[in-house]
Amino acid sequence: MLKRLVLLGCGLLGAAVLRAQPAPSALEVANLREDVRGLVQRVGDLSLRVEQLERENRELRGAASSASAVSYATTEQLASAVAELNRTIRAAAADTKSDTLQQVAVQMEKLARQTNAALDSISKGAAASAPVTFSDNYAKEGTSYTVVRGDTLAGIAKKTGAKAQDIINANKITDPSRIQVGQTLFIPGGK
């Protein structure tokens, strides 16, 4: 349509120029035809460009309408999603911690059983290898003594003037190195 208008305009312009002036020469007519042909070509290029721009405009409008259909997250929605993720992470961490503590407890119980079994076998082995017997050959009269920090059986015997073996026999001490603070001992013949 635009092309036709340009051609019509060029034709009218050419007709007006021809009427206003004396008869043009063949060279002038050829030049005018060349100018008209150049204008027609330029109008055709412009028409193609206009069509291309209209097509791109339609595509952009379609893309814009599609984009308006896309929903965007609000700040509150993002904050809620982050809070939910944090709760999930904390719950997973608590579960992991609980599982780890449970595994440690199982391992500790297993180690405790093994340790107790080893101690039992040692004590049975010690008891079986040398049964402890106590003699009644000590003075039946004496005094009592309460063990304090740093006391040893030999030290107590020295303090009280008693024999260490008499203290062991009178109190039936199986391991003289295991007297305890606060323990009350009978000291045969002691002062």
Identify whether the C-beta of residue 185 lies closer than 8 Å to the C-beta of residue 144.
Answer: yes
**How many angstroms separate the CA atoms of 130 and 122, rounded?**
12
Round to whole Å and give the CA distance between 66 and 19.
Answer: 58
Whole-prediction pTM: 0.34
Q: Are 7 and 40 in contact (CB under 8 A)?
A: yes
Structure confidence at residue 135 as a pLDDT band (50, 70, 90): confident
The predicted-structure confidence for 55-112, as pLDDT tens digits, reads as follows 999 999 888 877 666 667 789 989 999 999 999 999 999 889 988 999 998 999 999 9
CATH of 142-188 given 3.40.50.1110, 1.10.3210.10, 3.10.350.10, 3.90.1150.10: 3.10.350.10
pLDDT tens, residue by residue, 101-132: 999 989 999 999 898 888 887 877 665 556 77
- Number of Cβ within a 10 Å radius of residue 171: 18
Are residues 145 and 188 in contact, defined by beta-carbon separation less than 8 angstroms? no
- Delimit the domains of the chain by residue range: 2-50, 74-128, 142-188
Torsion 10-11-14-16 (CA) sign: negative
